[in-house]
Structures are given as structure tokens and as C-alpha cells.
A and B are shown apart, each in its own frame.
Chain A
Amino acid sequence: MKLDEFFVTGEPMIYAADAAIAMTVIGIVFVLTYFKKWKWLWTEWLTTVDHKRLGVMYILSAVLMLFRGGIDGIMMRMQLAFPGMNILDEHHYNGVFTAHGVIMILFMAMPFIIGLMNVIVPLQIGARDVAYPFLNAISFWTFFMGAMLFNLSFVIGGAPDAGWTSYFPLAGKEFSEGIGNNFYAVSLQIAGAGTLMTGINFFVTILKMRAPGMTMMKMPMFTWSIFITSIIIIFAFPVLTVALALMTLDRVFGTAFFTMANGGLPMMWANLFWIWGHPEVYIVILPVFGVFSEVISTHSRKNLFGYKAMVVSMVGIAFLSYLVWVHHFFTMGNSPSVNSFFSITTMLIAVPTGVKIFNWLFTMYKGRIKFTTAMLWSLAFIPNFVIGGVTGVMLAMASADYQYHNSYFLIAHFHYVLISGTVFGCFAGLYFWYPKIFGHTLNEKLGKISFWIFVVGFNVCFFPQFFLGLDGMTRRMQTYADNLGWNGLNLVSTIGAFLMGLGFFVLVVNLLYSAWKNKRDTANDPWDGRTLEWWTKSPVQAYNFAVIPHVKEMDAFWHMKKRNETEIKAEDLKPIHLPSNSGVPFISGIFWFIGGFGLVFEWMPMAILGLAGIFACMLARSFDYDPGFYVKVDEIKKVEGITGGDK
């Protein structure tokens, strides 16, 4: 391979990206060296196994990826603002919409949620850590390296450009010759492995590490949502693993799974992809249902209405999520009976979802509602998500879908679902739990400004797309003719996209401003919280809880406060065991990257080197008998500010 094939060339925007990446790297290295922070970075972050720090790194990565994916979205909207624009050529446009989809779903929504659950779930169930802290670090680094590998494709080697669904035969070697789609197959594989491990980790954590007295039906709703999500992950992600492995074999080793020749079946890819892909949609939506439940209940100062119905609905959604995948290809020649079956199962999902919507509304009924930014995001979610849900039922009618399929109507539908669900939920969770993570609240005024700009922008951007879709504009179009009647709506939509970008910008300003100015929260419990995470100090101590709470009822902390039982007594303190930091997860992540890079470029010696490194890391872990360490009682007293007690 020649050097000019290795680096992507020919577009001024690519050179700008090259320059930006180089500047950022130099900037980071300079800052770390200048402030002598290398050792700090290594000991405090790169080798950490603390679930709260891993959560912070997940969220940070997710916000960066939201920026990257958002820029992709804005570039697309600029290209479509007027007919005949020439900002992105066809090839570049294909790469941009592929990256936008992959990044937003897999490298923004997933890690944002996994970040929130990493920080909050062990705290909500009164645990000292997750079940497997070391594995948790491995999960993070595989996700991170997968994301980096995918992002690299834009400037090195060539971007994948067959859409985020990468349908065959388009995504196969015959029609996508370069290595772009190898990036897709390999980087998703690496990140997916990490996600599967996270699923197992949180399943066991929630099942086995709850504080004494916390039965399953006394768990906070966010923890419930993560429990269900973990089960979906455990059964959905192996399918993705297989699908991507077969894709890799087809592309790199010339097998015949999804080819047009030698007996391959391109539709098999569509089936495998969506058997994973549809549950994936619920993997990113159920956790934010949990977030909204916590935020709405706390801000209405009431317990959640219909707790049991909420749990049953989530189980129902999880079950149904596996029975609907064919609705993604109603128009690809299934028999009427197959289409009918999947049409009905798809519509059924609206039932448990509707139950949940009413539960949130009834939770607010007669509550004393506080309108903080976190609550505003949760309130905005309800009507917008209903628009997404109702249009979803419209799409679920197989015969009508022949009209909407792959049109902007669909684009508008799933952005209404995923943005007003997942993104609003991530923002609500961020504002809600930010003081727990960093010890200070975010600025409410800036928060509300950012909220209004973003929500208005979101509706301005996506509502017109319903009409564009009904007028016949299909997705993934790079440009359109002047006389189709689409000009005005497209321009409005683009203005909305810029408003969303502005809203995000204000959010980032808020993060920086609040870190600098906002009052440090000494109360640890700024929203008058109901669940156990608000009992801990902000930011949370390494060991989470000085003493493990005994839970008697749901919303444990709320009742503890009412009974004045929140004080920690010195005589209850015992030494606390914690796991040691380890460099192995990070190093193993680097080998995943090396191996993945080799496989993408079809350089087998490099791929084998990476694989050998991964196995070496596993052996190193197996031979490591480090027992961890104990935090002494005196130290706990000092951290907690407790005096007295002779122990």
C-alpha cells in the first residue's frame, strides 16, 4: 500500500481534520507535560478500576463523540439546505452519514448510558463497587479503542460509506472495494466485546450486590432499567459479534456468506444485523426511561406511580424487542403473513410504552414540581417522544410502510424517538447526577438557555422532515432538484440543526463555567433525593459507603431522612476492602487497537501481534494474585468527618 493510499487525500475538509487532530494531540501532550500531569493521568485515570472514574471517562468520550457526530449531522444539513449544494461530494456524503449513524448510536448513546450506569448503579444499590472492577476497566478500554479506530477511518485508509446498517451486497468487497467497511466491521466488533462484558458485569452486580434488605421490588427504577438492559445486551450482542465476524470473513478472507455468488444470501446480513439492531434500540431507550423515572419522581417529591407496572412494561418491551426485527425490511419481499406478524408485534410495543408514559404523568399529578433543568429535559421528553411513538405505529403498518420506507418520514420518526428519548435522557441524567460526580451543580440559568435552544432547534430540524418524507424525499440523498417543492422545508430543517448545535455549545459553556464558578455543593443532596446515591458525599469517596445501609423500603434514602437515620456512627466503621489499580486493561486496549488496525488493513502479521498481546494480557491477569488493599478506619473517619468512637 502506497503512502497516498494510506492517508486520505483530496478534500480540503480532510486536511483540516488532519490539522485539527495533530493540533489536539500536540496540545494534549503539551498541557500534560507542562503541568507535569503524566503520572497523575496514569495513576488516577488510565489504570483506575473505580466504577465512578470509568463512568466519567465514558461520559467524557460520549460528549466528544456527540460533538463529532453532531458536526457530521450539521455538514449533512448544510449540504441539503439548498438544492444543488456542493459542500460534500457524493462519496464524502456517504461517509458522513455512515459515520453519523454509527457514532451516534454506538459511540455516543451507548457510552453515555453506560457512563451514567457506571457512576450511579452501584451507589443506588448500596454497593462498594461493581462485581468485576477489573473487567469493567477492560470494557471501557475496548469501547474507547474501538471508537478511536472507527474515528481514524476518516483520515487514514478511508471511511466506511455503506450506511450505518451496512447492507450487503453494497457493503461487500464487490461494491465497496477499499478498506472503509473493514473499519466498520472491526471497530464495532472491538467495542461490542466491551459492551457484552458490561452487560454481564451489571447483571451480576444488580443481582448479587444489593444492600441487605433491598429486594428486587425495592430497587430504584433506574437500576431496574439497567438490569433489563443488561439482559438484552447479553442476548443481543453475541448476534452482532457473529454478524460482524461473518462480514469480516467475507471482506477480508473471501468467504461467501453475504455475496451474490457461491450461494451467499445478502438478506442474511439484514436479518442478523436487525436481530441485534432492534434490541439495541431498546438498549439505548430503556435506561433513559429509568433516568426519567428518577428525575420525575424526585422533582415531584412523590414516589413513582405504578412501580410494578413500570417493571412489567420494561420486561414486556425487552421481550417484544426480539420479535420485531423484520419491520426494518417490510418492503424487501416477505410474504404477507410474515409482514403481518411483525407488523402486529411492532404495534404491541406501543402498549407497555404507553403504560409508562401515563405512569410518569400520574407521578407528577398533585406533586410539588420543581422545574430544574433536569426536570425540564424530562418534561420535554414526554410530548416529543409521543410524536416519535405515534409515527412509529404509522410506520409499523406494513402496507403503509411501502410509502414511508427509507423516506425522511422515517428519519424524522427515529430522531424523535432517539433524540427526545436517549439524548434528552442523557442530558437530564447529566444535570441530575452531575453534583454527585463532581461535587457542584451545573449552572441552572445556562442550563435552561441551552435547553430551550436545543429543544426548539430539535423540533425545527425534524418536524419538517415528516412532510419532506411524505412529499417523497428519500434518505441518504446527497442533493435534489430545484423543482420538487422541497426547498423551503429543507432550509428550515437546516436552521434547526444549527440551533441544536448552538444548544450543545451552550451546554459545553455551562460545563466549563460551572466548573469554574458554580458553588460547591456541600449538602451532597441538592435535589432532596430519594435513592441511596444521595447519601454519599459529593464527589463520592473511593469506597462509596462508609457503612453499608440496611434498606427497609423503596426510596430508601427518603425514608432514612424522614427518620433521621442518615448519620454514620463511628462504632459501625470497619476497614474497607478495595481492588488495586491495574495497567493491564489499558495495555490490553492498545493491543486491541493494534490487532484491529492490522485486520482493517489486512496486514496479518500486525493482526496476529495484536491478538498475541491480548492473550498475553489475559495471562498476566490470570497470574496476578494481587489481593487489593484495605482502607483503615481512621482514614474513613477523616474522610467522613466523624469524631469519637474508640475502635
Chain B
Amino acid sequence: MAGHLDKSLPLEYQEEQSRLNILGFWIFLGAEIALFSTLFVTYLTYHMRTAGGPTAEELFVVKDFMIETLLLLFSSFTMGIAIFKMRNNDLKGLLVWFVITLVLGGGFLFYEIREFYMYAVHEGATMQTSAFLSGFFTLLGTHGLHVTVGVFWAISIIIQLVRRGLTPVTARKVFIIGLYWHFLDVVWIFIFTLVYLNGLVG
């Protein structure tokens, strides 16, 4: 019922149901924090338990994970610009920056899958090799799976934006996936620190 808009609120907060959905999504992210915390603790418990297999120091390549990090951090930045464009009621700008975000996200996934492939095929370091690698692939795989879901989710929202334009409902959907995307970025910062940097220090 978007009869008239309340000028004091952004588009995505216009409807009662939208406000509830956004709050609910924040709570969901709280549960996601619990999920990723558990995975981080699991990883840290196991990260020295290499059982004679390759160690973190032997596997990690600084250039590769730096590229992944930059791609994902920049995608979070462009997502921010996309939301900014949305707040200015600029549908075209929103779509452009949304697509750029997805390209960067896709690039991140490409490099991550390439990294997994190098470990598994070239180094013989699969998730079955040792508890360390089980923890590594599970933690990063869960994050990568989240990014993958985010990409498909975003594509479905782009289709809806093109079809319906910027309405209180589509704006809410964009805003929520924005929260999701930034959250994945935050998780990555912990992966960067606790997995990669920590792994290189040994």
C-alpha cells in the first residue's frame, strides 16, 4: 500500500512488513555470526593438526589470497555505492553498480575455486587429507557457498528491479542483500586474518 511516501524514511523502510523483514534479517545475521564463529573455532582447533600432510605455510600463496581479498573488499565498496544510488532514486546507477558488484563477486569466486583446485589437484591437499584441511575447506567453502548464493540471489533481484522498477518492496530486497554482502565481507576479513595471515606466521 504505497499510497504516499513518508519523506523522513528511505524507500526500503516505507512499509511495516519491510521494517520487520530488515530487522529479522539482522537477527538472522546474528545467527550467522554464531555459525561462522563455530567454524572459526573449529578451524583454529585443527589448524596445527596436519597429520603429516601439507601445512598452511606450505600451501598459502600471498598473491592469490591478496587478489581474492581485494576483489571482495572492492565488491563491498561498490555495493555501498549501489545503495547510495538507490537512496538517490537512481535506478540506472543502482543497476550499474549492482552488476559491477556481481562481476567482482564472480571474480572472487573464480580465484577461490582456482585456489581450491590448485591445492586439491596440484598439491594433493584435499579435505580428506588432514583435520587441518577439513577445517580449511569447510570454513572457506561455507563462506564461498554464501557468496555463490548471494550472486544468484542478486541476479534474481536485478530481474525484479528491471521488471518492476524501484518500489518500496524491491528497495527493501536490495537493502537486505546489501547487508548480506557486507556481512560476507566482514567474515572474509576474519578469514584473511585468522586463516591466511595466521597461517603464514605458522
Residues of A at the B interface (CB closer than 8 Å) are: 131-132, 196, 199-201, 203-204, 207-209, 234-239, 241-243, 245-246, 249, 253-257, 259, 261-265, 268, 272, 275, 615, 619, 622-623, 625
The verdict on A257 contacting B42 (CB below 8 Å), with A262-B129, A263-B131, A623-B160 known, is yes
Q: Answer yes or no: B186 CB below 8 A from chain A CBs.
A: no
The verdict on A265 contacting B138 (CB below 8 Å), with A200-B31, A242-B42, A622-B160 known, is no
B23 to chain A: which residues have CB within 8 Å? 204, 207-208
Chain B 100-130 near chain A by CB (<8 Å), digits 1 or 0: 0000000000000000000000000001111
Q: How far is the CB of A229 from chain B (nearest CB, A)?
A: 14
The verdict on A255 contacting B38 (CB below 8 Å), with A131-B24, A622-B156 known, is no
In Å, the complex CA distance between A429 and B5 comes to 44
B42/A246 in contact, CB under 8 A: yes
A268/B31 in contact, CB under 8 A: no
- A and B contact pairs by CB, cutoff 8 A, 25 listed: A131-B20, A132-B20, A132-B21, A204-B23, A204-B24, A208-B20, A234-B30, A235-B30, A235-B31, A239-B34, A239-B35, A242-B35, A242-B38, A253-B128, A254-B128, A257-B134, A257-B135, A262-B131, A263-B130, A263-B132, A265-B46, A619-B156, A622-B157, A623-B159, A625-B164
B129 to chain A: which residues have CB within 8 Å? 256, 262
Q: How far is the CB of A624 from chain B (nearest CB, A)?
A: 11
> Which of B38, B128, B130, B160 meets A239, CB within 8 Å?
B38
Q: How far is the CB of B199 from chain A (nearest CB, A)?
A: 15
In Å, the complex CA distance between A203 and B31 comes to 12
B34 to chain A: which residues have CB within 8 Å? 234-236, 238-239
In Å, the complex CA distance between A490 and B21 comes to 54
In Å, the complex CA distance between A619 and B149 comes to 11
Q: How far is the CB of A47 from chain B (nearest CB, A)?
A: 20
A200/B28 in contact, CB under 8 A: yes
Instruction: Considering the complex, give the chain A residue whose CB is closest to the CB of B32.
Output: A238
Q: Answer yes or no: B194 CB below 8 A from chain A CBs.
A: no
- Give the interface residue-count category, chain B: 35 or more
Instruction: Considering the complex, give the chain B residue whose CB is closest to the CB of A234.
Output: B31
B156/A255 in contact, CB under 8 A: no
Q: Answer yes or no: B96 CB below 8 A from chain A CBs.
A: no
A245/B45 in contact, CB under 8 A: no
The verdict on A265 contacting B27 (CB below 8 Å), with A249-B127, A253-B127, A622-B160 known, is no
Q: How far is the CB of A615 from chain B (nearest CB, A)?
A: 7
The verdict on A257 contacting B24 (CB below 8 Å), with A262-B131, A615-B152, A625-B169 known, is no
Instruction: Considering the complex, give the chain A residue whose CB is closest to the CB of B33.
Output: A238
B156 to chain A: which residues have CB within 8 Å? 619, 622-623
Q: How far is the CB of A204 from chain B (nearest CB, A)?
A: 5
The verdict on A238 contacting B127 (CB below 8 Å), with A246-B138, A261-B51 known, is no
A203 to chain B: which residues have CB within 8 Å? 27
In Å, the complex CA distance between A265 and B46 comes to 8
B51 to chain A: which residues have CB within 8 Å? 256, 261-263
Q: Answer yes or no: B89 CB below 8 A from chain A CBs.
A: no
Q: Which 5 A-B pairs have the closest CB atoms?
A: A263-B49, A263-B131, A238-B35, A255-B134, A263-B51
Q: For the A-B complex with A235-B31, A242-B35 known, give 4 more contacts whose Cβ atoms are closer than 8 Å.
A: A237-B31, A246-B134, A255-B137, A625-B169
Q: Answer yes or no: B197 CB below 8 A from chain A CBs.
A: no
Chain B CB count within 10 A is highest, among A238, A249, A265, A625, for A238
Instruction: Considering the complex, give the chain B residue whose CB is closest to the CB of A243.
Output: B38
Instruction: Considering the complex, give the chain B residue whose CB is closest to the CB of A239.
Output: B38
The verdict on A242 contacting B39 (CB below 8 Å), with A263-B132, A623-B160 known, is yes
A234 to chain B: which residues have CB within 8 Å? 27, 30-31, 34
Q: How far is the CB of B111 from chain A (nearest CB, A)?
A: 23
Q: Answer yes or no: B50 CB below 8 A from chain A CBs.
A: yes
B24/A265 in contact, CB under 8 A: no
In Å, the complex CA distance between A426 and B50 comes to 49
The verdict on A249 contacting B134 (CB below 8 Å), with A132-B20, A262-B129 known, is yes
Q: How far is the CB of B41 from chain A (nearest CB, A)?
A: 9
In Å, the complex CA distance between A200 and B31 comes to 9
Cross-chain pair count, CB within 8 angstroms? 111
B31/A201 in contact, CB under 8 A: no
The verdict on A268 contacting B42 (CB below 8 Å), with A131-B20, A262-B130, A623-B160 known, is yes
Instruction: Considering the complex, give the chain A residue whose CB is closest to the CB of B19.
Output: A208
A131 to chain B: which residues have CB within 8 Å? 20, 24
In Å, the complex CA distance between A616 and B134 comes to 30
Q: How far is the CB of B68 from chain A (nearest CB, A)?
A: 23
Instruction: Considering the complex, give the chain B residue whose CB is closest to the CB of A201.
Output: B24
Chain B 150-165 near chain A by CB (<8 Å), digits 1 or 0: 0011001101100010
B50/A263 in contact, CB under 8 A: yes
Instruction: Considering the complex, give the chain B residue whose CB is closest to the CB of A257.
Output: B134
A196/B31 in contact, CB under 8 A: yes
In Å, the complex CA distance between A265 and B42 comes to 10
B132 to chain A: which residues have CB within 8 Å? 263
A249 to chain B: which residues have CB within 8 Å? 127, 134, 138
In Å, the complex CA distance between A246 and B134 comes to 9
Q: How far is the CB of B179 from chain A (nearest CB, A)?
A: 14
Instruction: Considering the complex, give the chain B residue whose CB is closest to the CB of A261.
Output: B51
Instruction: Considering the complex, give the chain B residue whose CB is closest to the CB of A204.
Output: B24
> Which of B24, B46, B49, B159 meets A132, CB within 8 Å?
B24
A255/B128 in contact, CB under 8 A: yes
A254 to chain B: which residues have CB within 8 Å? 128
Q: How far is the CB of B175 from chain A (nearest CB, A)?
A: 14
Instruction: Considering the complex, give the chain B residue whose CB is closest to the CB of A197.
Output: B28
In Å, the complex CA distance between A236 and B34 comes to 8
The verdict on A200 contacting B24 (CB below 8 Å), with A238-B38, A256-B134, A619-B156 known, is yes
A263/B42 in contact, CB under 8 A: no
A204/B27 in contact, CB under 8 A: yes
A241 to chain B: which residues have CB within 8 Å? 35
B131/A257 in contact, CB under 8 A: yes
Chain B 45-79 near chain A by CB (<8 Å), digits 1 or 0: 11001110100000000000000000000000000
Q: How far is the CB of B117 from chain A (nearest CB, A)?
A: 17
The verdict on A263 contacting B46 (CB below 8 Å), with A131-B24, A196-B31, A257-B131 known, is yes
Chain B 177-194 near chain A by CB (<8 Å), digits 1 or 0: 000000000000000000
In Å, the complex CA distance between A642 and B85 comes to 51
B160/A200 in contact, CB under 8 A: no
Instruction: Considering the complex, give the chain A residue whose CB is closest to the CB of B135.
Output: A257
A615 to chain B: which residues have CB within 8 Å? 152
Q: How far is the CB of A9 from chain B (nearest CB, A)?
A: 33
B39 to chain A: which residues have CB within 8 Å? 242
A132 to chain B: which residues have CB within 8 Å? 20-21, 24
In Å, the complex CA distance between A7 and B131 comes to 35
A257/B46 in contact, CB under 8 A: yes
